[in-house]
C-alpha cells in the first residue's frame, strides 16, 4: 500500500518529462532565463533533465532501492526550491513544467504539488521492505487510487494559484 502515492508521483514525473521532451524549445527557454551558460550546454541540459525525470519515474515503478528514493527526493527537492523561490519573490511565470500539455506557473501550485510528491516518497525510505511487486499495479485496487493521486497532483499543480 505504501507504493500507491509513490506510483502516482512517478506518473507525474513521467508525464512531465515526456511533455518537456516534446516541447523541448520551451524547456530550453525556461532554462535560459535562470542558468547563465552557453546555448550548447543549455540545449544538452534541456534534453537531459526531462530524460532524468522519465528514468526516475519509470524506475520508481520497477525498482525498490534507497538510492533511487534519494535520487527522486533530490529531484523533487529541486522543484521545491524553485517554487519556493518563485513564491517568496512573487515570480509567477509560465514554467512549462508539463510542456504545452498543461499550462503551469511557478509558485504555490508547484510548491504544494512538489511537497505532496516529496512526502509520498519519504515513507519508502523507512518502511520499504523491498517487496514491491509491479504486478500489483495491474490490480484494480492499486490502479484506481494511483490514478486518483496522479490526477489530484495534476489538479493541484494546475489550479492552485497565489492568493
Q: Using pLDDT thresholds of 50, 70 and 90, give the confidence band for residue 137.
A: low
Flag whether pLDDT at 163 surpasses 50: no
Q: How many CB atoms are located within 10 Å of the residue 101 CB?
A: 16
Flag whether pLDDT at 111 surpasses 50: yes
CA distance 107 to 162: 7
Alpha carbons within 13 angstroms on the beta-carbon side of residue 48 total 8
The alpha carbon of 155 is separated from its chain's Cα centroid by a whole number of angstroms, namely 13
Q: Provide the residue range defining the domain that includes 35.
A: 3-159
DSSP, collapsed to helix, strand or coil, labels residue 148 as helix
Stretch 140-145: mean pLDDT? 79
Q: Using pLDDT thresholds of 50, 70 and 90, give the confidence band for residue 161.
A: low
Q: Which of 33-42, 95-104, 146-155 comes out lowest in average pLDDT? A: 33-42
Q: What is the pLDDT of residue 106?
A: 87
Q: What is the pLDDT of residue 130?
A: 66
Stronger pLDDT, 91 or 14, i.e. the higher one:
14
How much helix, strand and coil, in percent to the nearest 5, is found in the chain?
75, 0, 20
| Angle subtended by helix axes 24-34 and 3-22, to nearest 10 | 100
Report how many domains make up the chain: 1
Query: Over the stretch 10-25, which tens digit does the pLDDT of each residue have?
Result: 999 999 999 999 988 8
For residues 5 and 120, is the Cβ–Cβ distance under 8 A? yes
Query: Over the stretch 23-56, which tens digit does the pLDDT of each residue have?
Result: 888 888 888 877 778 888 888 888 999 999 999 9
Stronger pLDDT, 119 or 141, i.e. the higher one:
119
CA distance 77 to 117: 10
Amino acid at each position: 500500500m505504501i507504493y500507491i502515492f509513490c506510483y502516482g508521483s512517478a506518473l507525474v514525473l513521467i508525464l512531465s518529462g515526456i511533455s518537456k521532451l516534446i516541447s523541448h524549445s520551451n524547456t530550453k527557454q525556461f532554462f535560459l532565463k535562470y542558468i547563465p551558460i552557453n546555448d550548447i550546454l543549455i540545449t544538452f541540459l534541456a534534453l537531459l533533465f526531462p530524460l532524468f525525470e522519465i528514468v526516475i519515474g519509470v524506475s520508481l515503478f520497477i525498482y525498490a532501492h534507497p538510492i533511487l528514493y534519494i535520487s527522486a527526493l533530490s529531484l523533487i527537492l529541486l522543484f521545491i526550491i524553485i517554487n519556493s523561490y518563485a513564491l517568496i519573490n512573487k515570480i509567477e511565470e509560465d514554467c512549462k513544467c508539463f510542456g504545452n500539455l498543461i499550462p503551469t506557473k511557478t509558485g504555490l501550485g508547484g510548491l504544494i504539488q512538489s511537497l505532496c510528491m516529496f512526502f509520498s516518497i519519504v515513507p519508502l525510505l523507512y518502511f520499504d521492505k523491498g517487496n514491491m511487486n509491479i504486478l500489483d499495479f495491474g490490480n484494480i485496487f492499486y490502479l484506481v487510487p494511483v490514478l486518483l493521486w496522479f490526477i489530484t497532483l495534476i489538479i493541484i499543480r494546475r489550479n492552485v494559484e497565489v492568493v
